[in-house]
Amino acid sequence: MHSKTWIWLGISAVLILAAANLAILTAFPPGQQHAQEPLKRVNWILPFGPGFEYRGPCESPVIVYDGVNETWRLQNAAAWNRTISLDDRYSLDPAHPEDIRYTPDILVEGDRISLDFFIRNLAGENCAHADLTVTTGTASLNATTGSPEGDVLPGAATALPVDDLAAGEWREVRVTADLPRPGPEELLYLTIGLAAPYTLTTPNGTPIIFDLREMSSVASGPTLTGGDAIDPDYNRARLPRASATFVVAGKDAPEPVLPPTLRAV
């Protein structure tokens, strides 16, 4: 190839690069950042449970069961019923976080446990009525590994009605569940869950249906805009939810060992 051809190829490459740089500078002038879309989240009735604060089964509250007297007792009740600050997790404007605090108020009475969960209506609609769902699950806890093992036995799901929760309003709701009966040396891991409602009813009687595909919006009635049918099973399985966890121990059960922490060398 002649030297003149190489020269013209070089000049062409330089011109192409200059044109590309000019196009970039025109689209994004210096000092102007590319506008990014805001992060999306599910705007709905959002629950929060004290289980968020616990890092593992061995750091959850311990309830001791005496099978002889058929009594349950929460250890260190005062410590677990401390006030929790939610920081900006449920603030209407994360840039200006509200000082939202609530107390779990865990109480064991007979064979039942009750505690407060926190909910906030971020659906953008006043809620005249909604039914949240309370679930429980119980699994064996290995005292040596400090981890649950085996099958999780689910309890019966129950509805927790909530009325007159205005848009943006937050509230503490009382959740109650049955306590399991471990053997004298047995450790059980109890999870109490609270799921957001699938539908809420506005003050004028309009049903609002949770739809994950819309992320930051909700759909009224049985279908979405455009006529696409909502898959109720898909959306119910992905409803916002919260949980609280407890270790229920027989009175002669060993204390579970904290699992080893992996650290980089």
Residue 175 near residue 113 (C-beta atoms within 8 A): no
Mean pLDDT over each residue of the chain, to the nearest integer:
80
pLDDT band for position 217 (cuts 50, 70, 90): very low
> Stretch 115-139: mean pLDDT, rounded?
96
Residues near 251 by beta carbon (within 8 Å), at least 6 away in sequence:
64, 65, 66, 67, 184
Q: Are 148 and 180 in contact (CB under 8 A)?
A: no
Q: What number is the average pLDDT over the span 10-21?
A: 54
> In this structure, are residues 223 and 230 in contact, taking their beta carbons and an 8 Å threshold?
yes
Q: Is the pTM of this model over 0.85?
A: no
User: Looking at residue 27, what is its pLDDT?
Assistant: 46
Average pLDDT over residues 187-194: 96
How much is the average pLDDT of 129-150?
Answer: 92
Nearest residue to 45 via CA among 131, 136, 158: 131
- Bridge-partner residues for 63, per DSSP? 74, 248
- Report whether pLDDT(137) > 50: yes
**Please, which contacts does 146-153 make with residues 24 or more away whose CB atoms are closer than 8 Å?**
146/56, 146/57, 146/58, 146/256, 146/257, 146/258, 146/259, 147/57, 147/259, 148/57, 148/189, 152/191
Q: What single-letter DSSP state applies at residue 115?
A: E
Task: List, for residues 24-80, the tens digit of each pLDDT value.
Answer: 455 445 444 433 333 334 689 999 998 766 667 778 899 999 999 999 999 999 999
Pairwise CA distance, residues 133 & 14, whole Å: 65
How sure is the predictor about 145, in pLDDT bands with cuts at 50, 70 and 90?
A: confident
Please, what is the Cα angle at 100 between 208 and 207, to 5 degrees?
A: 5
pLDDT of residue 1 exceeding 90, the answer is no
Lowest mean pLDDT among 61-70, 162-171, 252-261: 252-261
For residue 216, pLDDT over 90 is answered with no
Average pLDDT over residues 103-122: 96
Which residues in the chain belong to E strands, given as ranges?
45-48, 62-66, 71-74, 84-85, 101-102, 107-109, 112-121, 127-142, 147-154, 158-165, 170-178, 187-195, 199-201, 207-209, 219-220, 241-250
At 17 the pLDDT is 55
DSSP per position, 17-59: HHHHHHHHHHHS-TT-PPP-PPPP---SEEEE-GGGG--SGGG
pLDDT of residue 212: 75
CA 147 to chain centre: 21
